[in-house]
Structure 1
Amino acid sequence: MIRIPTRVVLPFGYQIAIRQLTDTEMDKRDANADGIWDDDNRTIYIRKRLPMTRRRYILAHELGHAWLDWQHRHLDEGKART
């Protein structure tokens, strides 16, 4: 079975933490969201009670947001070259 990782590392050491939250914890952040990318803390939050297939989909979606943030910080600031 594929599990949800606890962290992902993008190029140049851009580390992303992944936390699965209870409904109560997630509702404190956003009651209408099943997944959140927090760019200040470099953390993806996923609602834990969801089926695994939905959590994987949300993880992929939020990783897209994280990748765009990485591009902004590293490519746009000239730290990486395409």
Structure 2
Amino acid sequence: MQWEFSKTQRAHILAGIADVEPRTVQKYLDGKTVHARKRERIELAERTWTQMVTDYDEACARRKLAPVDTSDASKGTDHGHE
């Protein structure tokens, strides 16, 4: 499965994993200078995220499950209310 996120979404995901500010990740993704220690954390976060996605896809393939379709956020959110 191909995961597609905007640059802002990707920055927030990586910032959460790297424990840095999203704007710092945005600077990194834009190719601007980022403090070496933060850059290392962001690079590690990228590898971690890639591995998490790969592991998820492999687990789905092993179980022969289709990955969750997140394109329709309204599914399953009704909770019985009309």
| TM-score range normalised by the length of the shorter chain | 0.3 to 0.5
Normalized against structure 1, the TM-score is what?
0.39
TM-score by length of 2: 0.39
Higher strand share: 1
